Amino acid sequence: MVNFKKLRFTTYYLISALLISGCSSISSNLNSIIGDDTFPNFPDPQVTTYILDLSASTNSISQLTALNSGIEEFISGKAFGDPFSKPQLPPLSLSMQFITLKSGSAPRFPLVSAESSKELYNFLLKNQTNLDQAIPLWNGFIRARTNVYDSKLYLDSNCIDLVVSQFGPQALSKIVLTEPAAIICRDAKKTSTNLDYLNKFQSETKLPMGSDVFGAIQIAIKNMKKASDQYGDIEITIAIASDLVDEDPKKDFIQRIQGKNQDACKLGEEFSKNDFGSDSPLRGYNFILVGVGNTTYDFIEKNQKFWNCYFTSAGADVEEVSDLAGY
């Protein structure tokens, strides 16, 4: 049953508020009375780098599949995240690099970038969409990105028009929607191109195999700092699929860790201080270690202790796992 007394009071309050405050504050008064339709902030991107050890396998895709990495999850439309869900889902970035004899000479492959998600979010802000418009449109972005990649529509000269049609009925005009459609076509094509480069690299690489582990880690950290400069606050994950036995003679890792009565943790702290200093510069970094114990060397336990202390001494969080699922 309708409470007419309450309804009359609400109507009177609305009219009074508008008369008192004037037209300029109509929106703010309505929001304070019937609820706030606040546009959410863009969530912090989750930036991930996979480091694969080519001394064990040159087929990086097969290696990732064997490790249950969920790489398909990264390159689908879900990588856009969802700023409107509760809780919010962060946009994803994924790059891949390798441990070789000289890791600095191995290419890096950026497979997915959170930049496209940020561009789509800014499009919604620019066009002053409200939540009722933004939520179904964002779902359309995710759906279209998945379909464009899976169906290879990015190769079609009419990709933009095809993507607009996949958004479904929307409040914005088709002409306006060509902007996010172009972003999605470009994003899917970039992922496909870099995956092709990755496949070509692993099948044709002539780089000398070896284990410059420290060099690969330094490169990954350097790239993460660039990502932080680009996006601001980010969630950082560096997942390393390797036994982490460094063979660079300059580091003399193998001989030192096998030293008689050598404390592996103290050695890790020493290496960490030399590489990063003592101000915990890796605070906020998450290192996921896969396969540290899968080595032909006979110092598995020492190796595990070394790397845990190496990273935690610099302020990072470390986790050892059996595969890369969820990372």
| 192: CB partners within 8 A, 6+ apart | 149, 152, 154
Please report the pLDDT score of residue 66 as a whole number.
58
Which among 239, 242, 255, 237 is positioned nearest to 212, based on CA atoms?
Answer: 242
Kindly report, residue by residue over 181-225, the tens digit of the pLDDT: 999 999 999 999 998 888 887 777 777 677 899 999 999 999 999
265 vs 76: which has the higher pLDDT: 265
Provide the pLDDT for residue 28: 38
pLDDT for residue 71:
74
Residue with tokens 């990264």: 74
Task: Look up the pTM and report it.
Answer: 0.81
Residue 15 has pLDDT above 90, yes or no: no
The residues, ordered by sequence, that sit 6+ positions from 77 with a Cβ below 8 Å of its Cβ are 141, 142, 143, 144, 145, 146, 147, 149
> Are 43 and 81 spatial neighbours (Cβ–Cβ below 8 Å)?
yes
Q: Is residue 35 over pLDDT 80? A: no
Three-state secondary-structure class, residue 319: strand
Residues 123-135: pLDDT tens digits?
Answer: 999 998 899 999 9
Backbone angles phi, psi at 239, to 5 degrees: -105, 125
Alpha-carbon distance 237 to 267, whole Å?
A: 24
- Looking at residue 67, its pLDDT comes to 62
Task: pLDDT band for 12, please (50, 70, 90 cuts).
Answer: very low
Greater pLDDT, 235 or 31 = 235
The distance of Cα 159 from the centroid of its chain, to the nearest Å, equals 25
CA distance 71 to 170: 31
How much is the mean pLDDT over the chain? 83
In the chain, where do the E strands start and end?
46-53, 92-99, 109-112, 235-241, 285-290, 317-321
Give yes or no for a contact between 29 and 18, defined as CB atoms under 8 angstroms apart. Answer: yes
What ranges do the domains of the chain cover? 47-114+203-321, 118-198
CA-CA distance, 325 to 92, in Å (whole number)? 15
pLDDT band at 69 (very low <50, low <70, confident <90, very high): low
Give, in words, the CATH class of 47-114+203-321: alpha beta
Of 98-107, 142-151, 177-186, 209-218, least confident by mean pLDDT is: 98-107
Average pLDDT in the 56-66 region? 58
Mean pLDDT of all residues in 309-317:
97
Reading the block at residue 34, the tokens are: 């019937």
The residue among 262 and 210 whose pLDDT is bigger is 262
